[in-house]
Amino acid sequence: MELFILRHGEAEPRTTTDEARQLTAKGRADVARMIRSSLDDLGELTHIWVSPLVRAQQTAEIAGELIGDMEPYTTELLSPDADPQLLFNQLQISECQGLLLVSHQPLVSKILDTLCGTVNDYHDMATSSLACIDIEIIAADMGKLRWLRHSST
């Protein structure tokens, strides 16, 4: 399986609730630039799973449109404070071969560090960062990081 992990783009400061924060214009542009520059490397992407929070939803929408009219699937398993092991359990039984996960810190770094067998916080994923992992068995230390790209702005 090719597993892609995308952190949402830059979001507006908290004005009401964290859940309601939207992407800024810069955040939208950064996400679009990251996806466009990575299109050739996104392989056989078949699914997008996304956190229910607004900024992640907006990020997944941008990615889905640029990749080719792909409809994101919303799951609480990608909420910022979700347990990565619950996500891994669901991924293991899924039929996805190319999957893009769209989520938040600290979850995106926890997923990357756990699957690739690195210490916590080893992989810092700034907004609009995108990683690619090759993995057959969804479990700790079983993935190989192919690449990690950060927004250039």
Whether cis (ω within 30° of 0) applies to the bond prior to 106 is yes
pLDDT band (50, 70, 90) for residue 126: very high
Segment 66-92, tens digit of pLDDT: 998 788 999 999 999 999 999 999 999
Hunting for tokens 């990081």 — which residue is that? 145
Which one-letter DSSP state was computed for residue 11?
Answer: B
Given a cut of 60, is residue 153 above it in pLDDT? no
- Tokens representing 48 are 């997008």
- Tokens representing 82 are 């979700």
Query: Does the predicted TM-score (pTM) go above 0.75?
Result: yes
**pLDDT value at residue 57:** 98
- Tokens representing 17 are 């609730």
Output the average pLDDT for the chain. Answer: 94
pLDDT band (50, 70, 90) for residue 14: confident
Q: What is the mean pLDDT of residues 11-25?
A: 90
Helices (H), the chain: 25-38, 54-68, 84-93, 107-116
**pLDDT value at residue 105:** 94
